[in-house]
């Protein structure tokens, strides 16, 4: 079987993960303003949920993904894309120039060696009252072949994620574990079976259990989860 291209993988993930993406988005909805930067936008998992805002800026390093995103949504006058390094000075300059009031950054900073600089760039570009909405992989003991496949440097704990915001102007208003049931699947597939491909059953299983998991986590916050949600409000 021919190797799956980078673009085809993102197309598959985008097509099959919509229920999970909507669940992620619900964690951030109350904090999202009208001028949003979607950092690490890929093919635009969140784009269709954000195009009703006044302004949407999709940021990624992958030119092929940005081109596909523009092809899908490019006729919208309130949508722009930019190829930027999250750790570079151009990142902060671009967010500031576009008067972005919310940065959505989902499963991105774990790919970056200088994650402290990446977070600083996003926070410093925000106006007072603006929000940085982060989702990161959690629990270092889960680090395995699926993390290696995705190019992860690390997985976070509550403490290690909170440390990234030390000496930044503002406060963490929410920080909690997310998706408890996902721990088992990631542990088995990435640490026990040592899989090196995201198979379709990964998405199918998650979509099947979401109707049960979502209301449970809403009622009883889990003590652990395969991801961490963090909301930071700029002073």
Query: Confidence class of residue 1 from pLDDT cuts 50, 70 and 90?
Result: very low
The predicted pLDDT at position 2 comes to 54
| pLDDT, average across residues 192-216 | 87
Comparing CA positions, the residue from 107, 125, 110, 115 lying closest to residue 37 is: 125
Residue 107, SS3 per DSSP:
coil
Sign of the torsion formed by the C-alpha atoms of 168, 174, 179 and 184: positive
What are the structural domains of the chain?
6-234 (3.40.50.150)
Query: Confidence class of residue 3 from pLDDT cuts 50, 70 and 90?
Result: low
Instruction: State yes or no: pLDDT of 11 exceeds 90.
Output: no
The C-alpha atoms of residue 215 and residue 128 are separated, in whole angstroms, by: 33
The predicted pLDDT at position 17 comes to 87
Query: Confidence class of residue 5 from pLDDT cuts 50, 70 and 90?
Result: confident
Q: Please tell me what DSSP assigns to residue 1.
A: -
* Residue 227: its H or E element: strand 227-234
The C-alpha atoms of residue 100 and residue 87 are separated, in whole angstroms, by: 17
- 65-75 per-position pLDDT tens digit: 999 999 988 78
């Amino acid at each position: 079987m021919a190797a799956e291209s980078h673009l085809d993988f993102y197309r598959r993930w985008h097509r099959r993960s919509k229920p999970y993406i909507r669940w992620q988005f619900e964690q951030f909805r109350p904090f999202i303003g009208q001028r949003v930067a979607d950092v690490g936008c890929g093919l635009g998992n969140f784009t269709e949920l954000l195009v009703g805002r006044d302004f949407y800026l999709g940021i990624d390093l992958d030119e092929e993904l940005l081109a596909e995103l523009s092809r899908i949504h490019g006729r919208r006058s309130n949508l722009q894309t930019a190829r930027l390094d999250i750790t570079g000075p151009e990142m902060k300059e671009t967010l500031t120039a576009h008067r972005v009031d919310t940065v959505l950054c989902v499963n991105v900073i774990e790919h970056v060696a200088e994650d402290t600089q990446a977070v600083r760039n996003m926070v410093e570009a925000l106006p007072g009252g603006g929000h940085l909405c982060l989702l990161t992989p959690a629990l270092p003991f889960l680090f395995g072949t699926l993390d290696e496949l995705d190019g992860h440097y690390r997985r976070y704990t509550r403490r290690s994620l909170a440390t990234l915001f030390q000496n930044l102007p503002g406060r963490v208003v929410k920080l909690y574990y997310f998706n408890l049931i996902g721990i088992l699947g990631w542990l088995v597939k990435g640490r026990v079976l040592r899989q090196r491909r995201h198979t379709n059953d990964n998405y199918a299983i998650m979509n099947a259990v979401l109707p049960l998991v979502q209301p449970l986590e809403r009622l009883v916050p889990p003590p652990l989860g395969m991801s961490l949600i963090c909301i930071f409000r700029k002073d």
